[in-house]
Amino acid sequence: MALTIREAVRADAATLFGFIRELAIYEKAEDEVTATVETIEESIFGERSVTRALVCEQDGQAIAMAIWFFNYSTWQARNGIYLEDLYVTPKARGLGAGRALLKQLAQIAQENGCGRFEWSVLDWNEPAIRVYEAIGAEPLQEWIRYRMSGDMLKSFADT
């Protein structure tokens, strides 16, 4: 029952898409998913992609994913890692897959001289918050995240 973590490859696009849909359902936002297997293939595995993904497997079966990219801190003048999404299938929760993916990303950050490893979590997602606090991550209370997307983004860009 050993866990293994590997870099995702183009052939994993459908698996990643499945996990993304499951995550959106869990976060009560299924109607916001516009991704497809094809757009995942291009956005994560395409020539111009800056996004990467890890897959966690148990006995050869994909049970979790992490989608991430390098970001940048002007104050540190160093890259960091931003974890866009971490997802563990319900049947595999409690096996350590989430922690293993976080640890792998922390190691990637160290190997690349990154100054930070950051992510966001919904304020109601207590199980995830407990995991993050258990590994020593600290919430940033003083920051408010803003977003512009869809029609609002297009309208603003066009004005």
Active-site residue list: 132
* CA distance readout (Å), 128 to 6, 17, 88, 113, 121: 22, 21, 10, 26, 7
The answer to whether residues 64 and 87 touch, using CB atoms and an 8 Å cutoff, is yes
Tokens of 53: 């993904």
Q: Which amino acid is at 47?
A: E
Q: Are strands 117-119 and 3-7 parallel, antiparallel or unpaired?
A: unpaired
